[in-house]
């Protein structure tokens, strides 16, 4: 079983690359952002709660995020492996994921960060916002807040996975195909 965590700041291209990786390695793709947006469009209680954080560019509280993630994994227990996109984003989530997976005799195979600098990312997000209509992509201040959240809460996970010998990074600037190639070369070398 291969379980990959895709890391990267907002706009780094996690969702785009996850689409390629899931078919190449036959993995089930779980994006916590997509799951929240699905709840928002269905107007569930979880969706309403999540929206109040997401619209400001803040992270949604850990416990509801962790519970939602566990539920998604359990609903797809037949999967050959998973790509976690946008999870974990805090130390508490990373600990919870390790515990949860080990209870199922599963583990993270590798975490891969897509690296790009803030100005490139901010420009990508503003462009995406024009097409997607995502509230959190429309305003520079919200975008900068998401980077702050990443720097404060998510970036420290690098040390967490490095200590486990599972942290890798790839240059996230370039053409989509080029970046897919970098990722698959890296992942093939780890298998
Ligand atoms: P992006 O990576 O571009 O910010 P996502 O779709 O991954 O887009 O996330 C959008 C928003 O959803 C985040 O800003 C946050 O509010 C919420 N979110 C997604 N994943 C998590 C998570 N693991 N923990 C807390 N909040 C999350």
The string of pLDDT tens digits covering residues 80-94 is 999 999 999 999 999
pTM: 0.95
Arch. (CATH architecture) of 2-116+157-190:
3-Layer(aba) Sandwich (3.40)
Give the confidence band of 191 by pLDDT, cuts at 50, 70, 90: confident
Q: Find where tokens 């900068």 sit.
A: 144
Nearest to 96, CA basis, from 32, 26, 18: 32
β-strand partners of 4 = 83, 110
- In degrees, rounded to 5, the angle at the alpha carbon of residue 107 between the alpha carbons of residues 149 and 86 is 25
Given a contact cutoff of 8 angstroms between Cβ atoms, the answer to whether 3 and 84 are in contact is: yes
Q: How far apart are CA 170 and CA 85, in angstroms?
A: 15
Average pLDDT rounded to a whole number, residues 13-20: 96
Confidence at residue 9, expressed as pLDDT on a 0 to 100 scale: 96
Residues with CB under 6 A from ligand 1: 10-11, 32-33, 36, 53-54, 57-60, 65, 86-87, 89, 93, 136, 146
Which residues does the annotation mark as catalytic?
14, 89, 128, 134, 146
DSSP 135: G
Average pLDDT score, the chain: 96
Domain ranges of the chain: 2-116+157-190
Give the confidence band of 133 by pLDDT, cuts at 50, 70, 90: confident
């Amino acid at each position: 079983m291969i379980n990959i965590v895709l890391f990267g700041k907002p706009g780094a291209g996690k969702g785009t690359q996850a689409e390629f990786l899931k078919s190449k390695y036959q993995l089930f793709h779980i994006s916590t952002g997509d799951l929240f947006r699905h709840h928002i469009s269905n107007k569930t209680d979880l969706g309403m709660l999540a929206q109040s954080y997401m619209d400001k560019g803040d992270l949604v509280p850990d416990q509801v995020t962790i519970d939602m993630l566990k539920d998604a994994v359990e609903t797809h227990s037949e999967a050959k492996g998973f790509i976690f996109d946008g999870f974990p984003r805090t130390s508490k989530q990373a600990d919870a994921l390790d515990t949860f997976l080990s209870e199922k005799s599963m583990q993270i195979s590798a975490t891969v960060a897509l690296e790009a600098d803030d100005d490139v990312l901010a420009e990508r997000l503003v462009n995406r916002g024009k097409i997607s209509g995502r509230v959190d992509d429309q305003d520079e201040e919200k975008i900068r807040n998401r980077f702050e959240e990443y720097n404060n809460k998510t970036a420290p996970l690098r040390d967490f996975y490095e200590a486990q010998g599972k942290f890798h990074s790839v240059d996230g600037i370039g053409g989509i195909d080029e970046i897919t190639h970098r990722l698959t070369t890296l992942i093939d070398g780890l298998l």
